[in-house]
Amino acid sequence: MRISHKIGLAGAAFGLALAAPSARAADPIKIGVIAETSAISGVGIPNAAKMAAEEINAKGGVNGRMIEIVDYDDHSSAADAVRAFQRAAQQDKVAAVIASYISEVVLALEPWAGRLKMPMITPGAASNEITKRVHDDYDHMKYVFHGYLASTQLADVVCDAGKSLMVNDLKMKTAVIMSEDAAWTRPLDDEYLKCLPASGLKVLDHIRLSPDTTDFTPIFNKIEGEKPDVIVTGISHVGVQPTVQWQQQQVPMPMYGIASQATNATFWKDTNGAADGVIFNMVAAPDVAVTPNTIPFAKAYKAKYGSLPGYAAYQSYDDVFMWAEAIRKAGGTEPDKMVEAMEKTDYVGTIGRVVFLPKEDTFAHGMKIGEGYITGLMVQWQKGNPVTVWPANVATGKMVFPAFTKLSQ
């Protein structure tokens, strides 16, 4: 199927661009994709990038040149990712990189982007530190862009939705925070501790667990003893195990918040249906027309790969179009000119209208958040399907919880 795109507000067409005189038509423009292809949250990154490249190439490419995706599996290892990045820049001669959903990986790559003057964007990492480095050391770090929400912004979406869903609708009053111990959750939890009480949920406890945890029984026993109304999550590297054990142990509090693995279509099968009732955040979802491109992309992805895209796939798909447009506007692949063009991005893709924040902003080169730009959704697994439950104006269903869940109403 063919998917139409608006590239910026002007709707520029790639196929109409004149060939750059310095490039032969046969020379492809290479974009490196470094991702965790064996992880359920990472496999969609190269898959979606290849879809975008195919669509761009079908319309004539960029300045008469085809886009070629060169993908690397970093095996969820920062060291492997750095080696892949060095190879991409120095040996494979890529023009730009799309890298990882893991914050520790992106933070390890960031200095190399500066050293090698290699434009890079992450489609799924959340650490605030990614954009803080750009703000604090712009001259060296300007090559890095953040194609996903920062942790603080994610927490604010969860709290905003929580006020509506948990406090107003379900009359909840108390919460326990349960987050994995990782770089991205430190600012997430700091913001949770501020915004949950502001939204009407008193925080009874703040639990940080090792990403290597396999037995969540002591954690759930502790939480049950504290009797919160809801468990607010910040989990990405873990997800299947706590969800399965939450269901097996009939933990009576709903799980609600950030759960990256839950965004993947395989999560229902991976948990043998234990995901039923889990509520999680996404920037775009397959059942909501965040933009006119969201649902067509999700359908095309499923038709091609056999499952719906996970959260980072939406951003990876858009990132290829944004790099391609930056190259078109820059007239080639000179890094500083690409960065300058990327800073002027105004692109409507699958996740909303993308505009990058200026170097003076705390979240320099992060995406502008808010009405008319990038907003968030809360989605719930219900009987095998992800159903968007917030915000109300785009919701495709209402919250439904398994019988063992005891709501505060």
Q: Are residues 200 and 62 in the same domain?
A: no
Q: Are residues 165 and 276 in the same domain?
A: yes
Q: Is residue 192 part of a domain?
A: yes
Regions of the chain with pLDDT less than 70:
1-26, 239, 408-409
Q: Are residues 21 and 170 in the same domain?
A: no
Q: What is the pLDDT of residues 273-288, one digit of tens each?
A: 999 999 999 999 888 8
Predicted pLDDT of residue 183: 86
Q: Are residues 83 and 188 in the same domain?
A: no
Q: Are residues 188 and 298 in the same domain?
A: no
Q: Are residues 268 and 296 in the same domain?
A: no
Q: Are residues 187 and 233 in the same domain?
A: yes
Predicted pLDDT of residue 239: 66
Predicted pLDDT of residue 213: 87
Q: Is residue 401 part of a domain?
A: no
Q: What is the pLDDT of residues 310-364, one digit of tens each?
A: 889 999 999 999 999 999 999 999 999 999 999 999 999 999 999 999 999 999 9
Q: Is residue 108 part of a domain?
A: yes
Q: Is residue 360 part of a domain?
A: no
Q: Are residues 277 and 305 in the same domain?
A: no
Number of domains in the chain: 2
Distance of CA 228 to the CA centre of its chain: 29
Residue-by-residue DSSP string for 210-274: -TT----HHHHHHHHHH--SEEEEEESS--HHHHHHHHHTT--SPEEEEEGGGGSTTHHHHTTTT
pTM of the model: 0.83
Predicted pLDDT of residue 42: 85
Q: Is residue 278 part of a domain?
A: yes
Q: Are residues 266 and 337 in the same domain?
A: no
Predicted pLDDT of residue 403: 93
Q: What is the CATH number of the domain that holds 53?
A: 3.40.50.2300
Enclosing domain of residue 203: 152-282+376-390
Q: Are residues 262 and 345 in the same domain?
A: no
- 108 backbone dihedrals φ, ψ, rounded to 5°: -70, -30
